Amino acid sequence: MGRYVYDFTEGGRDMAGLLGGKGANLAEMTGLGLPVPQGFIVTTEACRAFLATGAEPEGMSRQISRHLSAVETAAGRVLGQPDGPLLLSVRSGARFSMPGMMETVLDIGLNDASVLGLAKASGNERFAWDSYRRLVQMFGSTVMGVDTELFERAMTLLKERRGAPDDLQLDASDLAGLVETYKNLIHVVTGEDFPQSPAEQLRRAVLAVFGSWNGERARLYRRREHIPDDLGTAVTVQRMVFGNLGPDSGSGVAFTRDPATGRGGLYGDYLSNAQGEDVVAGIRNTVPLAELERLDPASYRRLREHLRTLENHYRDLCDIEFTIERGTLWMLQTRVGKRTAEAAFAIAAELADEGLITADEALSRVSGDGLAHLMFPRFDTSVTGDPLARGLPASPGAAVGAAVFDSAEAVRRAAAGEKVVLVRQETTPDDLPGMVAAQAVLTSRGGKTSHAAVVARGMGKVCVCGAEELTVDTRARRFTTGDGAVVEEGTVISVDGSAGAVYPGAAPLVDSAVMRYLETGACAEQSDKVVDAVARSLQLADRARRLEVRANADTPEDAARARRFGAQGVGLCRTEHMFLGERRKLIEQMILAADDDTRERALAALLPLQRKDFVGILEAMDGLPVTIRLLDPPLHEFLPDHTELAVRIATTEAHGDLPDPHDAELLDAVNRMHEENPMLGLRGVRLGLVVPGLVAMQVRAIAEAVVERRRAGGSPKAEIMVPLVGAVEELRIEREEVERVLAEVSAESGIEVTCPVGTMIELPRAALTAGRIAGQAEFFSFGTNDLTQTTWGFSRDDVEAAFFSAYLDKGVFATSPFETIDREGVGRLVGIAVAEGRAARPDLTIGVCGEHGGDPESVHFFHAAGLDYVSCSPFRVPVARLEAGRAAL
Ligand code: PEP
Ligand code: MG
């Protein structure tokens, strides 16, 4: 027979798994000598046993009786005794807080006899009957399964009959009558009587709380919060104390410091003559805690002392619930309190200053997500009102601008000084100029790794994607919301990329002091505690971390910004981003070239443009590694859209004109190069192997840029990276070409150009044959976007919108594997590749440059997997630095 019940004097906060958070902390407070009404805890183990078998675990009942006796002895009263009964509360309390998701039954012990005793002992008949009424209602619904609605209807009917606007106007005899009605209701609905035996009430209430672990609400909550289903809840049984016995009683909540800003000092709300439930339900307006000092100075003083004791003991911000019963203060609950990101940084720094926690502990208490939150301007949500639509929070921040429906319009208006939001069904590389020009991007389709999301994140641009309730009509230049509201081009809207919401009009913005600090390295307001705390956390993290942090950057501006944010190099320069705009014509010529000469001319025209890009990036990252990836996407991405072309030709012909021969040629090429699955088609290293001259041009541009930088006295450190390798042979062939061109440029310039050549590991086959591939690679960089796509067989452009929400609901996974690395599957491949790669080449440098490189949880995985660096978008660099430091603690 197991042990299923613990007295408050027997537990402690390190027992939250067994006693639940609430029970463990009540035990801790009891141990500290704080005034906690006596009680005991029925363990999560008992709950698990009950849920597994449907039967009460053997011996539990007896153990409860024994602990109840101890409470009765201490109180000098017996549960439900007819004169002045002891009453109990029965509450749920899981390891992780699940506020309001499970059941509670209060006032256990009242029955037809003890209600009279309570009336007499309290000298308050109305209070006694109201308590009994509450018990019958809570027990009836929670334990006996009667719809709460029925009780509420009965209450409403009675109030109408009495002409009473609220239940405070009902007197003791009204409430006594209501108890009778409630009991009849229970009998009619269940065929059973409300149990008069206090022991039976207690026993059944405990089991009902166990059962509520599997209630609909609780299950949904767990799924959303990623709380495992098999933990079970503990049940806390505690002597009732009453805050509703008159003006010298009351209930409140308090924090040891302000959870919104972290500022020290008492903070909270108080409601006189009320139970804790009333404070939460907001039936009357609470007063600030400071008011309690006037109402009951002695209790206020004691409360302040207890809060200080708690904060010193927990060495963290605590929140508590308390009740004052006729001038006596009782502590009913405490826990380490939730707080805003701002408060988290401020509190950690302050507690470290006070010597309550170490610097390492301070670092462990802040998070990359919190930092990301603080880096962006925010909307003042107290004034925004209801959103027009919701979507995925794809790239954080807040932006305001006029809705525009294509890239050209965005560019035109932005050039005229207008702030715009680019609204599209989804974006393509064609939208890039518009995205650059816009304050924010809003799409009705696509997930968090859709083009819009990835590019926006890379640019630090606000983005909400997959706002499915929106119908975007690009032609009519408007969108329609789920409610049928129409937003025409030019209408100002506000996009909240942190929350995934879109608001009408210009919502007021609050600027980010943290961002100002990161961008300039200076703290404008010397007194800004949060900025100061962020700066200190980052310094600590930089000292602690083993992982280097590089940035994914394709332009000198991005590279320079990333460097200001602390990047130690560029981990991924995607050269395709340099093939857009004006240069597209040259790519077209290269693709359409009928002979070598034409192709070479097109490539030769591209060369100086590419070289200039590389010079700029190498200069911005002078002295630090810059990993330049050879062209990756399928070439037809650089050709016009098939439908657009076909329509253009058909329209011309319909007018009796001859189509532009260039258009016809283009259409022919588009048809020729069409692929059903372009992501698995002619891209990556495959392009290099089949398009003559392409690799040579890119490598020459890199090598000449290195030469130019060296001649200018710089210290360029270019690295050449080959994408989408699946077999060592592919890399070997491409590598030969790379080395040939490097030697050529070295000979021409008289400057020895050596660049490490490495590969992306972004196909399962590459990971599984990493040992062989390492023979041809000086470095690996995991492309976890493609590796996730190909390991799961999920199209990264489609699945998030298509079925991920269903998968998340069904619990197939808790977060999108495109966001947080899937440790079991993709992570395993990473592990294999690291082990086999290093075994073959011990000095192999290994990094990651997929989106996961900037995801806090994934950073911890990459640290543990032994990688050398993570590379992420410039705006994620501070986040990754912080998390890499935390991972190393
Ligand atoms: C990747 O696949 O993770 C990667 C970084 O490459 P891209 O996103 O450009 O395919
Ligand atoms: Mg890739």
For the ranges 102-106, 770-774, 854-858, the lowest mean pLDDT is seen at 102-106
For the ranges 193-202, 438-447, 838-847, the lowest mean pLDDT is seen at 438-447
Q: Which of 554, 574, 637, 685 to mutate to test the pocket of ligand 1 (most atoms within 8 A of CB)?
A: 574
Output phi, psi for 510, to 5 deg: -115, 125
Ligand 2 centre to CA of 633 (Å) is: 9
Exposure of 682 by Cβ count < 10 A (0-12 exposed, 13-18 middle, 19+ buried)? middle
Q: Pick the ligand that lies closest to the CA of residue 852.
A: 1
User: By alpha-carbon position, which residue is closest to atom 4 of ligand 1?
Assistant: 783
The CA angle 513-515-517, to the nearest 5 degrees, is 70
User: By alpha-carbon position, which residue is closest to atom 1 of ligand 1?
Assistant: 783
- End-to-end Cα spacing for the chain: 41
Please state, for a pLDDT cut of 70, what percent of the chain lies above it. 98
H helices present in 256-358, as ranges: 276-281, 290-295, 297-314, 341-353
452 or 692, which is more confident: 692
Contact 513, 528 (CB under 8 A): yes
Residue 827 has pLDDT above 80, yes or no: yes
Query: Is 822 a pocket residue for ligand 1 (Cβ < 6 Å)?
Result: no
pLDDT on residue 672? 86
User: By alpha-carbon position, which residue is closest to atom 10 of ligand 1?
Assistant: 786
Coil, helix or strand for 757? strand
Query: Is 575 a pocket residue for ligand 1 (Cβ < 6 Å)?
Result: no
Tokens standing for 224?
């959303």
For the ranges 158-162, 282-286, 296-300, 868-872, the lowest mean pLDDT is seen at 282-286
pLDDT on residue 61? 95
Cα–Cα distance for residue pair 850/790, rounded to 1 Å: 13
Query: Is 457 a pocket residue for ligand 1 (Cβ < 6 Å)?
Result: no
Per-residue model confidence as pLDDT tens digits over 338-379: 887 888 999 999 999 999 999 999 999 999 999 998 998 888
pLDDT on residue 478? 96
**Distance of alpha carbon 779 from the chain centroid:** 32
Looking at domain 545-576+594-634+686-887, which of 3.20.20.60, 3.40.50.970, 3.30.200.20, 3.40.50.150 is its CATH number? 3.20.20.60
pLDDT on residue 281? 58
pLDDT on residue 512? 87
CA distances from 750 to 701, 742, 786 (A): 16, 12, 39
Contact 691, 596 (CB under 8 A): no
Class of domain 250-336: alpha beta
Mean pLDDT of 95-115: 90
Ligand 1 centre to CA of 786 (Å) is: 6
Query: Is 850 a pocket residue for ligand 1 (Cβ < 6 Å)?
Result: yes
For the CA of 576, the closest atom of ligand 1 is 9
Cα–Cα distance for residue pair 261/876, rounded to 1 Å: 24
CA distances from 767 to 541, 595, 773, 817, 838 (A): 30, 38, 9, 18, 12
Contact 462, 395 (CB under 8 A): yes
Coil, helix or strand for 886? helix
Ligand 1 centre to CA of 857 (Å) is: 19
Query: Is 633 a pocket residue for ligand 1 (Cβ < 6 Å)?
Result: no
Q: Which of 448, 579, 760, 791 to mutate to test the pocket of ligand 1 (most atoms within 8 A of CB)?
A: 760
Give CA torsion, residues 535, 538, 539, 545, to 10 deg.
Answer: 180
Per-residue model confidence as pLDDT tens digits over 785-820: 999 999 999 998 888 767 887 887 777 887 889 999
Tokens standing for 457?
């994140």
Q: Which residues contact 587 (CB under 8 A, 6 or more apart)?
A: 579, 602, 606, 635, 638
pLDDT on residue 586? 87
Residue 618 has pLDDT above 90, yes or no: yes
| Topology of the domain comprising 70-238 | Acyl-CoA Binding Protein (1.20.80)
Helix axes 661-673, 642-654, angle to 10 degrees: 150
Query: Is 817 a pocket residue for ligand 1 (Cβ < 6 Å)?
Result: no
Residue 699 has pLDDT above 80, yes or no: yes
Contact 764, 724 (CB under 8 A): no
Contact 241, 321 (CB under 8 A): no
pLDDT on residue 526? 53
Per-residue model confidence as pLDDT tens digits over 402-442: 999 999 999 999 999 999 999 999 887 778 889 989 999 99
The per-residue pLDDT of the chain, averaged, comes to: 92
Residue 287 has pLDDT above 90, yes or no: no
Mean pLDDT of 759-775: 98
pLDDT on residue 166? 76
Exposure of 657 by Cβ count < 10 A (0-12 exposed, 13-18 middle, 19+ buried)? exposed
Contact 433, 407 (CB under 8 A): yes
Ligand 1 centre to CA of 431 (Å) is: 19
Query: Is 762 a pocket residue for ligand 1 (Cβ < 6 Å)?
Result: yes
Per-residue model confidence as pLDDT tens digits over 633-660: 988 888 888 888 888 888 888 888 888 8
Query: Is 766 a pocket residue for ligand 1 (Cβ < 6 Å)?
Result: no
Cα–Cα distance for residue pair 243/273, rounded to 1 Å: 6
Give the DSSP H/E element, type plus range, for residue 234: strand 233-239
Active-site annotation holds for 655 = no
Q: Which of 95, 69, 33, 418 is nearest to 227 (CA)?
A: 95
- Catalytic residue, chosen from 318, 465, 755, 849, is 849
Mean pLDDT of 268-272: 89
Q: Pick the ligand that lies closest to the CA of residue 848.
A: 1
Query: Is 632 a pocket residue for ligand 1 (Cβ < 6 Å)?
Result: yes
Catalogue the E-assigned strands of 556-606: 570-574
**Distance of alpha carbon 393 from the chain centroid:** 9
CA distances from 20 to 92, 231, 339 (A): 8, 10, 21
Q: Which of 762, 787, 790 to mutate to test the pocket of ligand 1 (most atoms within 8 A of CB)?
A: 762
Work out the pLDDT band at 523, boundaries 50, 70, 90. low
Cα–Cα distance for residue pair 599/588, rounded to 1 Å: 10
> 779-782 and 757-761: which strand pairing?
parallel
Active-site annotation holds for 849 = yes
pTM of the model: 0.81
Given phi > 0 = left and psi -120 to 50 = alpha, else beta, which region is 144? alpha
What is the longest distance spanned by two Cα atoms in the chain? 106
Q: Which residues contact 563 (CB under 8 A, 6 or more apart)?
A: 551, 620, 621, 624
Query: Is 142 a pocket residue for ligand 1 (Cβ < 6 Å)?
Result: no
Mean pLDDT of 33-52: 97
Tokens standing for 794?
């999920």
Tokens standing for 502?
């879109």
- Name the superfamily (CATH) of residues 377-511: Phosphohistidine domain (3.50.30.10)
Residue 283 has pLDDT above 60, yes or no: no
> 398-404 and 420-424: which strand pairing?
parallel
Mean pLDDT of 318-324: 95
Residue 717 has pLDDT above 80, yes or no: yes
Range ranked top by mean pLDDT from 397-406, 499-508, 596-605, 741-750: 741-750
Residue 766 has pLDDT above 90, yes or no: yes
Query: Is 785 a pocket residue for ligand 1 (Cβ < 6 Å)?
Result: yes
Tokens standing for 424?
């599209």
Q: What is the DSSP string of 12-72?
A: -GGGHHHHHHHHHHHHHHHHTT-----EEEE-HHHHHHHHHHSSPPTTHHHHHHHHHHHHH
Query: Is 576 a pocket residue for ligand 1 (Cβ < 6 Å)?
Result: no
Work out the pLDDT band at 129, boundaries 50, 70, 90. very high
- Catalytic residue, chosen from 451, 577, 636, 860, is 451
For the CA of 454, the closest atom of ligand 1 is 8
Cα–Cα distance for residue pair 571/781, rounded to 1 Å: 8
Q: What is the DSSP string of 330-381?
A: EEEEEEEPP--HHHHHHHHHHHHHTTSS-HHHHHHTS-HHHHHHHHS-EE-T
Ligand 2 centre to CA of 468 (Å) is: 27
User: What is the residue extent of each domain of the chain?
Assistant: 70-238, 250-336, 377-511, 545-576+594-634+686-887
Per-residue model confidence as pLDDT tens digits over 82-104: 998 999 999 999 999 887 778 88
User: By alpha-carbon position, which residue is closest to atom 6 of ligand 1?
Assistant: 783
Residues comprising the chain, all counted: 889
Give the DSSP H/E element, type plus range, for residue 601: helix 596-620
Give me the residues paired with residue 237 across strands: 40, 90
pLDDT on residue 868? 98
